Amino acid sequence: MKSLRIPRSPKVIVGLIILGIFVVLTVIGPWIAPYDPNANTFIPNLTPSWEHWFGTTTLGQDVLSQLLVGCRVTMVVGFIAGLVATLISIAVGLAAGYMGGRTDEGLSLLANVFLAIPGLPLLIVINSYLPAGSQANPLVVGLVIALTGWAWGARVLRAQTMSLRDRDFVEASRIIGEKRWRIMWSEIGPNLLPIIAASLLFTILYAVGVYSTLAFLGLTNVSTWNWGTMMYWAQSNNAALANEWWWLAPPGVAIALVGTSLALINFGIDEFINPRLRAAGLSARQRRRVGLARRPRLGFTPVLRQSTVDPKKVS
């Protein structure tokens, strides 16, 4: 059994650092916000300055404060939706993949249906039928997002479970007579970890994106600060036409950075799952140093005329 050792490439490290920063801001953002995000007492449309790092809005509010306060809701909804969706997909994927038969048929059909229905329109419809109080509640919205976002992970996990189910070590413990759930938990589970991690990253990405999209469309409570509502207010006050980039850019870039960090971490997981994606041998710079072409060429094995193997190791 392999342990989850994600290659520690620069990509993964950068991704973890960016994500770490946003996680910290999720916790402390509202506390370190310099002003009340709702206070509209400042001079409108200020460009960034010492007093207002990200300037002020047309309504005279401080952009940085909105960004910091909005971080928490955005991230919490994203993580909750991602977690719940991943839990659903683990349950469905493992059950379908391990049990097979009718259970599998039914669950697979369910997953396929959810995959085929376009998520955002479905969310918009469900959301519009929610009572006004629930629409404003980020938790409820997060759960609804989870409901529309679990199917992809379930499908991948199911396929992987099926292929693991028939491998030797699972077969062996089945013969010894271990209980089903124990086999699933102790034998199959650890082998699914990288895939579960990837699907968690994807669903968080999806949830952050979808939640802020709903907010941008004004379909959640527009007075709860999150990055989508910031864009909503910017859009409804024609910030783009007035070239107020300092108002538009922070929420958009923040979402993009969170997304990038998740994707970068996923690169590492991808390379773990699919070793062919791993860069073979040295980085371009190291290759140059030992005198090789920058990039390996298919069908043109390099001739170095000197071994780099430690001579002590070759008797």
Return the residue of 21, 27, 113, 172 that touches another protein, per CB under 8 A: 113
102 binds another protein (CB under 8 A): no
Q: Which is nearer to another protein, 16 or 130 (CB)?
A: 130
47 binds another protein (CB under 8 A): no
User: In terms of Cα–Cα distance, which of 75, 69, 97, 60 is closest to 22?
Assistant: 75
Q: Which is nearer to another protein, 177 or 299 (CB)?
A: 299
155 binds another protein (CB under 8 A): yes
Q: Please tell me the distance from the alpha carbon of residue 29 to that of residue 23, in angstroms, as a whole number.
A: 9
Shortest approach of another protein to residue 6 CB, angstroms?
17
Window contacting another protein (CB under 8 A); options: 19-27, 33-41, 72-80, 155-163 = 155-163
Cβ distance 152 to 207 under 8 Å? no
For 203, the enclosing helix (H) or strand (E) is: helix 189-216
Q: Please tell me the distance from the alpha carbon of residue 82 to that of residue 201, in angstroms, as a whole number.
A: 8
What track of x and - describes contact with another protein for positions 158 through 177 (by CB under 8 A)? Answer: -x------------------
- Quote the crossing angle between the two packed helices 10-32 and 245-273, to the nearest 10°: 140
143 binds another protein (CB under 8 A): no
Q: Please tell me the distance from the alpha carbon of residue 232 to that of residue 214, in angstroms, as a whole number.
A: 10
300 binds another protein (CB under 8 A): yes
258 binds another protein (CB under 8 A): yes
Taking the CA atoms of residue 102, residue 116, residue 207 and residue 272 in that order, the dihedral angle to the nearest 10 degrees is: 70
Shortest approach of another protein to residue 63 CB, angstroms?
14
194 binds another protein (CB under 8 A): no
Binding to another protein in span 2-21, by CB under 8 A: 11
Q: Please tell me the distance from the alpha carbon of residue 160 to that of residue 94, in angstroms, as a whole number.
A: 9
Binding to another protein in span 119-138, by CB under 8 A: 119-122, 124-132, 134
Which whole-number Å values give the CA distances from 191 to 95, 107, 139, 167, 169, in the listed order? 15, 21, 31, 11, 11
Return the residue of 23, 76, 218, 237 that touches another protein, per CB under 8 A: 218
Return the residue of 200, 274, 285, 288 that touches another protein, per CB under 8 A: 274
223 binds another protein (CB under 8 A): no
User: In terms of Cα–Cα distance, which of 212, 236, 71, 94 is closest to 158?
Assistant: 94
Return the residue of 251, 268, 269, 272 that touches another protein, per CB under 8 A: 251
